[in-house]
Amino acid sequence: MPLSSPLSGKGRRFLKRVLGGRFDPRAPKQYDVHCNLSPTYAPRGALSEEVGRLCRLHGWRRAPAGPYGENLLAVHMSKVAFTMRGSEPDTLHYWEIPSFRTAMFCDETMGVVHPNPFKNGKTAVFYDPEDLAGLGRLLERYLADDDARLAVADAGRRHCGRHHSNRARARHFLGIVRRSAVRKGSHAPASTVVAP
């Protein structure tokens, strides 16, 4: 099912403002792989080097590195994008990559504790940062099979919107508050109760 826009409302306006109108939500993917990881610790540098080696070996187009706004545009224009635990921008990418209908490759939960995590092979693709030997096979599979890649990308986008948007997180938080209030014997006014 084609999705007309990777972001809605404020997200599209933000990218258009930051990128000077160069963001086109309907643009085809120009790159195969996005992996712009700063080497804040050894596994991140090793992953970036291995992705670079695989791109050269297979002739895959790797998105260029750039500042934050340019990086978001490159994620949007890539078929798959990597993220790995490390620092704040990388944690943001955990939520941003799926919103662009880009298949997210991540090291499981990246150490982020949250309800409704992404699922391997369904809403994201997990790799083992301690064992990069299988990385080439994963990339080959998802770059050769558009249907499999788009299934993960689309499911990841829906999952992110359903469980990790501002509205979804607010609903979740208000549900916790409501359940806590009910357990303590108080009752929140009906107008403040939001279904989880």
* CATH (domain of 40): 3.40.50.2000
pTM attached to this predicted model: 0.79
Do 106 and 19 lie in a common domain?
yes
**Residues 119-128: contacts with CB under 8 Å, at least 24 apart:** 121/152, 122/152, 122/155, 123/98, 123/152, 123/155, 123/156, 123/158, 123/159, 123/160, 124/98, 124/152, 124/156, 125/80, 125/152, 127/47
**Does 151 score more than 90 pLDDT?**
yes
Say if residue 31 is in the same domain as residue 96: yes
Domain with 186, as residue range(s), is: 166-196
Instruction: Work out how many domains the chain is built from and give that number.
Output: 2
Q: What is the pLDDT of residue 26?
A: 76
> What does the pLDDT look like over 90-140, one tens digit per residue?
566 777 898 888 999 998 756 666 778 889 999 999 998 888 889 999 999
Contact in structure between 80 and 139 (CB atoms under 8 Å): yes
Q: Is residue 21 over pLDDT 90?
A: no
Provide the pLDDT for residue 89.
55
